[in-house]
Chains A and B, each alone.
Chain A
Amino acid sequence: SYELTQSPSVSVSPGQTARITCSGDALPKRFAYWYQQKSGQAPVLVIYEDNKRPSGIPERFSGSSAGTMATLTISGAQVDDEADYYCYSSDSSGNQEVFGGGTKLTVL
């Protein structure tokens, strides 16, 4: 079955740039989506279709994708950005979807 691979944790100081990566063989053909989930809450979409930001999401959140890797970048991370971040995409057929294992972002 198709898998998306994320590193388990990323840690930055406030104001620094946080980069969270997601690797998958089908990413050259399929869009990546990024979700933020804070403890006890439903996920919030922060990036869709590789690099588009939904309304209401701060400009410090950006996305990119090159080859088999998608990247979520948080420029000038804030303490409020501490959360689990999940990438989301599909296999090459587009029929089987999958979340990455999640990356815990610590900002302190």
Chain B
Amino acid sequence: EVQLVESGGGLVQPGGSLRLSCAASGFTFSSYSMTWVRQAPGKGLEWVANINQGGGDKYYVDSVKGRFTVSRDNAKNSLYLQMNSLRAEDTAVYYCARRAEGYWGQGTLVTVSS
């Protein structure tokens, strides 16, 4: 059974940093590109970043470029999102996903507030 479990969310002050993790199991992690998606409270879904199978190709939504970095460790079956210079508008539930196949984690809440 495919499982994706996010962790690392929490309350952080504006300008602060946070690192999200996503532990994958039930499939050959290194064979799939992975995605981070977020959803602000009461708002729609927003694609955040993609990373390809080997980690060499990474793409970001414009609003996080230069602040967020997606990475993966295929040996540990793990996906990461390093978030720096956080802003209030980054407050959201963050999901990791194999979006084309429809596998999502349960999400982790990031709150940016003073």
Contact = CB atoms under 8 A, between A and B. Distances in A.
Contacts of B107: 42
Interface in A40-86: 42-45, 48, 54, 84, 86
Given A1-B62, A95-B59, A96-B61, A44 B47 contact: no
A101 B95 contact: no
Given A35-B45, A48-B100, A86-B44, A97 B35 contact: yes
Interface in B44-80: 44-47, 50, 59, 61-62
A33 B44 contact: no
Contacts of A48: 100-102
A54 B45 contact: no
A104 to B, nearest CB: 10
Contact of B102 (A44, A84, A101): A44
- The prevalent SS among residues of A at the interface is strand
B25 interface: no
Contacts of A37: 45
Nearest to B106: A42
Contacts of B46: 99
Contacts of B61: 1, 96
A98 interface: yes
